[in-house]
Structure 1
Amino acid sequence: MSKSMKQQFIFKRAALTMVVALIALFPVTNEATYSSVAASGETTPVASTESTTLEQKIDSILKDPKLQGGITGVSVRKADTGERIYSNHGDIRLRPASNMKLLTGSTAMDILGPEYQFLTEVLTDGQVKGKMVHGNLYLKGKGDPTLLKKDLDQFAKDLKAKGIDKINGNLIADDSWYDDVRYSQDLNWSDEHNYVGAQVSALTLSPNEDYDAGTVIVEVNPGNKTGDLPKVTLTPETSSVEIVNNATTIAKGAAKSISIEREHGTNRIIIEGKIPLDGTRSQSWSAVWDPSMLALDVFHRSLKAEGIKIVGNGGMKIGVTPSNATVLTSKKSMPLSELFIPFMKLSNNGHAETLVKEMGKVQRGEGSWDAGLAVMKEKLKEFGVNTDTVVLRDGSGMSHKNLVSADEFTTLLYNIQGKSWFPAFEASLPIAGNPERMIGGTLRNRMGDSSAAGNVKAKTGSITGVSTLSGYVTAKDGTELIFSMLINNYVTGPVTPIEDAIAKALAEYEF
């Protein structure tokens, strides 16, 4: 080795010794990072040690590439004090999607009460003489979204038990408890045929115990042989809608392509496409054009099944019950605390909009969206929500014009915890990872194998470009937390794994 090379070697060795000494004196801090897999499967840098702060954990998750170009509001509070311990764009107003139901549900619980029930009545403006009603028979709805065919059957049985077998007058549907505006102001016309956008009427009917009011279940099965029209059934059976069957039964093993869609502005349900002989059934919950006439038609069928006939020149029509009419029979719905299970667990839009109108009717004598939303805003202010920063356009969250921040959601969820009705409200929230439909609800297939399962109780939300999740979770050390996540303007999904990752991080954290 030459003298110059030997000097270079000694210098490098001395430098290395100095670096090692410096590392010993000043160890690497917690902020050191390494590459990790993000919620979406992409790689993103995250803090490397077990002592990573909650802020670092959530910030890391929010670096997911799927969120680039959009905006995500996140707010986390301690449930016992309301202290905000994390916020990312928490004060920015964003579209909440079905997280709007947290606002609608909490205000309805407070204004109407958990024991509140909706009423449906059968009345006459005439007299019952012998076996005949001399006058009109009214089916008067007062908002019950849980009315079923079996309830109308019972009404008919009640009339039969009174000895009635003839009605010398008209059969009239009365939906005047609410106004005649059937769609919320921002509903897309393309959603009108679907159960998520069904008309809201004071007199309506549900096809089953999911209580999608104002809809019929259309079921399509293969015909008996190739070339036959498929078999179509309706639940409930009704002649208030017209089935236009343009579909065809094709050979076994072929691909199925069935579409079921109600024609805009009519009650014509168009069925098109092909279904193989060995094909599985196709089903659709189709919203009808006139829920009141659907209920009246099914009631008419119930009357006929009991041998009760409309005689003379009587027919079926829409009308208003006179104030002096006599109640012949009636039914109250389940209490609000029970209705909240399908409402919140399954995120039922129709229930939300009905509650808005009912709050307006009860508080202001006007069953309209304008009255109901005004009542909601007043109540939310009482709950500590800064109502100067929110925009309320409907009760369900279908509108893309609703605006609420994540911080206001966590403020609401903190402040309502002391209300007498809160246990019923909390019980209605979907529970992560629970496979039971009316327990896990819209979270039943999420966060199953994690500390968030059975722990996260939260409301989901989803419309085009929007995904949201807000609710409650208990951290690993028992600290109870409140959170809200509002993801807006994403293009490439799904983004629910990002929400789930944050929820899991909260569930696994130790303070």
Structure 2
Amino acid sequence: MSRSKKSLFVIWMVVLLGILPLAQYTEHQEAHAGPQSELGTKISKVLSHEDLKGAVTGISVREAKTGKIIYQKNGDTRLRPASSLKLVTSAAALKLLGGNYRFKTEVYTDKKAVNGVLTGNLYLKGYGDPTLTTADLDKLSKQLKKKGIRKVKGNLVADDSWYDSTRLSLDLPWSDEQEYYGAQISGLTVSPDNDYDAGTVIIQVAPAAKEGKAPSIKVLPKTSHIKLSNKAKTGKADSKKTIKVTRKHGTNQLSITGSIPKNSSASKYWIAVENPTGYTLELFKRSLAKEGIKTAGKMTAGKVRTGAVKLASDQSAPLKEVVKPYLKLSNNTISEVLVKELGRVKGKGGSWEHGLSVIEKQYNSLGINHNNILMRDGSGVSHVNLITPNTLSNVLYKAQSASWYKIYLNSLPVAGNSDRSVGGTLRNRMKGTPAEGKVMAKTGSISTVSSLSGYVKGNAGNKYTFSIIINNAIEEDHLKTIEDQIAVILASE
């Protein structure tokens, strides 16, 4: 028996005797199999960074043309992906709903208008549109005015029953509930601007003319849905800005504290509201008033009555346009709306449970092995979400043959492109490097986690799909730099 055969025989005997688990031996063999490639040597040098000590880094790189893995490190290890998980959610949404899918919002009444007066209720019914803005509410009001409606004697009723009443995903920390990325999900919600962070309000803080005076506060859009307590001060010129906007848990009581320098420009803060349904209805009432339509009844929640007549309607842009701000700006609210919409339209109901079940049924067609993923939400904000880097790189590989691939690709942030609508979350990264304009990828970041997954064009005309996921990092200052350095290496191949 040769020396190599003897060694193999001994190893198998040890395995059979239970002294050394086979999995441990296999892992050891993979880690030391053959001479390290030039690509592996370059990446290994980057991974020697001090901030990665004690962390777990998973990397998967595939040839985009064949799907062949050319480099991996912990490629089959399930890791928390942060917002890279949006690659799965968006793929499922585009596949099942299609690029031309639109959300809608409608207005109903349960009694006919007589001489411009509605004696019945006026219902604002939402169908989950995360891109609904005050401008859209104005369009609805204008349609009512054109129909000759001047007064509503009944109640203004908000109908958000398109989705269930669970507002927050299962694992969202309570401390994130006031943040724009942790906004409540409702079938009827409104966005303060075209970033479409639905269910939020913008607080604009500007310094007073005199030091020591309270800064001026603007609420955008203007609403009485929240209550403000301004305890902030205007500080000395060039002093440190320490403004904080906090919302009392479970309420819409906002407190502004800290200091803003006298010579500072105005600062904006996006804060999630409690009860986005009520927030939207209050803004609709204001919109009606702008069109001269008086409302005499109460504002309340309820369902459109059977037999009610539709008076006005509004539609969102098609999904192929909505996915651009969604992926480029990593919009959590749109992500969770898509999960509920999939559940409502393609499943058994508008809930996280049913939506995630619909996505799970698409795993095989998207290139996902059920054992390599755990989805608890659509955005990646949960620390319970898990997926392997090899799975993400395979989803990206498989997507290339899908009819919706161009929409998917063009919705990803582009490295180093300063145009926010193109570069998105990568607009300030990899500038002046070989990766500028050649990396189109989804970023991800939650506490102790950072990720970057997407496509990269190599120097020799090669194209790769890749996924980099870093977990358990205590020092987070250089994680994005580490990801960028690996992307630059791939772009130089």
Structure 2 counterpart of 1:173: 158
Q: Are the counterparts in 1 of residues 139 and 314 from structure 2 also a CA contact under 8 Å?
A: no
Amino acid corresponding to residue 181 of structure 1 in structure 2? T
Three-state SS of the structure 1 residue aligned to 2:282 is helix
Q: Are the counterparts in 1 of residues 328 and 412 from structure 2 also a CA contact under 8 Å?
A: yes
2:308 matches 1:308 = no
2:309 matches 1:326 = yes
Q: Are the counterparts in 1 of residues 438 and 456 from structure 2 also a CA contact under 8 Å?
A: yes
Structure 1 counterpart of 2:67: 82
2:137 is aligned, of 141, 147, 152, to: 152
Per the TM alignment, residue 438 of structure 1 is displaced from its structure 2 partner at its CA by: 0.8
Structure 1 counterpart of 2:448: 465
Distance (Å, rounded) in 1 between the aligned partners of 2:126 and 2:251: 23
Amino acid corresponding to residue 164 of structure 1 in structure 2? I
Structure 2 counterpart of 1:236: 221
Give 5+ residue unaligned stretches, structure 1. 1-50
Structure 2 counterpart of 1:41: none
Structure 2 counterpart of 1:498: 482
2:453 matches 1:453 = no
Q: What are the residue-to-residue correspondences of 1:399-438 with 2, within 5 Å?
A: 399-438=382-421
Structure 2 counterpart of 1:37: none
Three-state SS of the structure 2 residue aligned to 1:234 is strand
Structure 1 counterpart of 2:329: 346
2:279 matches 1:294 = yes
Three-state SS of the structure 1 residue aligned to 2:374 is coil
Distance (Å, rounded) in 2 between the aligned partners of 1:336 and 1:171: 30
Per the TM alignment, residue 52 of structure 1 is displaced from its structure 2 partner at its CA by: 6.3
Structure 1 counterpart of 2:255: 270
CA deviations on 1:407-434 (whole Å, 9 max, x unpaired) are 0001111112111111001000001111
CA deviations on 1:310-335 (whole Å, 9 max, x unpaired) are 23xx1101111123211101011000
Structure 1 counterpart of 2:29: none
Per the TM alignment, residue 142 of structure 1 is displaced from its structure 2 partner at its CA by: 0.4
Tell me which moved more, 127-136 or 269-278.
269-278
Distance (Å, rounded) in 1 between the aligned partners of 2:264 and 2:225: 28
Give 5+ residue unaligned stretches, structure 2. 1-35
Structure 2 counterpart of 1:100: 85
Per the TM alignment, residue 277 of structure 1 is displaced from its structure 2 partner at its CA by: 3.4
Structure 1 counterpart of 2:379: 396
Three-state SS of the structure 1 residue aligned to 2:380 is coil
2:173 matches 1:188 = yes
Amino acid corresponding to residue 482 of structure 1 in structure 2? T
Three-state SS of the structure 1 residue aligned to 2:124 is strand
Structure 2 counterpart of 1:507: 491
Structure 2 counterpart of 1:138: 123
Distance (Å, rounded) in 1 between the aligned partners of 2:241 and 2:437: 38
Distance (Å, rounded) in 2 between the aligned partners of 1:118 and 1:285: 24
CA deviations on 1:317-375 (whole Å, 9 max, x unpaired) are 11111232111010110000100110000000001000000000011240000000111
Larger Rg: 1
2:341 matches 1:358 = yes
Distance (Å, rounded) in 2 between the aligned partners of 1:508 and 1:105: 29
Structure 2 counterpart of 1:9: none
Structure 1 counterpart of 2:32: none
1:205 is aligned, of 183, 187, 190, to: 190
Tell me which moved more, 52-61 or 299-308.
52-61
Amino acid corresponding to residue 470 of structure 1 in structure 2? S
Distance (Å, rounded) in 2 between the aligned partners of 1:251 and 1:433: 36
Amino acid corresponding to residue 78 of structure 2 in structure 1? R
Structure 1 counterpart of 2:6: none
2:320 matches 1:337 = yes
Distance (Å, rounded) in 1 between the aligned partners of 2:241 and 2:489: 43
Per the TM alignment, residue 159 of structure 1 is displaced from its structure 2 partner at its CA by: 0.8
Structure 1 counterpart of 2:109: 124
Three-state SS of the structure 2 residue aligned to 1:257 is coil
Three-state SS of the structure 2 residue aligned to 1:99 is helix
Q: Are the counterparts in 1 of residues 236 and 262 from structure 2 also a CA contact under 8 Å?
A: yes
Amino acid corresponding to residue 341 of structure 1 in structure 2? K
Amino acid corresponding to residue 119 of structure 1 in structure 2? K
Amino acid corresponding to residue 316 of structure 2 in structure 1? S
Distance (Å, rounded) in 2 between the aligned partners of 1:206 and 1:134: 30
2:392 matches 1:385 = no
Structure 1 counterpart of 2:53: 68
Q: 1:446 to 1:278 in 2, by over 3 A?
A: closer
Distance (Å, rounded) in 2 between the aligned partners of 1:87 and 1:224: 58
Tell me which moved more, 360-369 or 58-67.
58-67
Three-state SS of the structure 1 residue aligned to 2:140 is helix
Q: Are the counterparts in 1 of residues 102 and 317 from structure 2 also a CA contact under 8 Å?
A: yes
Distance (Å, rounded) in 2 between the aligned partners of 1:347 and 1:435: 16
Amino acid corresponding to residue 416 of structure 2 in structure 1? G
Amino acid corresponding to residue 136 of structure 2 in structure 1? D
Q: TM-score, normalised by structure 2?
A: 0.90
Amino acid corresponding to residue 243 of structure 1 in structure 2? L
Per the TM alignment, residue 250 of structure 1 is displaced from its structure 2 partner at its CA by: 4.4
Structure 2 counterpart of 1:43: none
Q: 1:276 to 1:486 in 2, by over 3 A?
A: closer
Per the TM alignment, residue 97 of structure 1 is displaced from its structure 2 partner at its CA by: 0.3
Per the TM alignment, residue 253 of structure 1 is displaced from its structure 2 partner at its CA by: 5.2
Distance (Å, rounded) in 2 between the aligned partners of 1:411 and 1:274: 49
Distance (Å, rounded) in 1 between the aligned partners of 2:486 and 2:263: 44
| Structure 1 stretches of at least 4 aligned residues deviating more than 6 Å after TM superposition | none
Q: Are the counterparts in 1 of residues 468 and 483 from structure 2 also a CA contact under 8 Å?
A: yes
Distance (Å, rounded) in 2 between the aligned partners of 1:285 and 1:451: 35
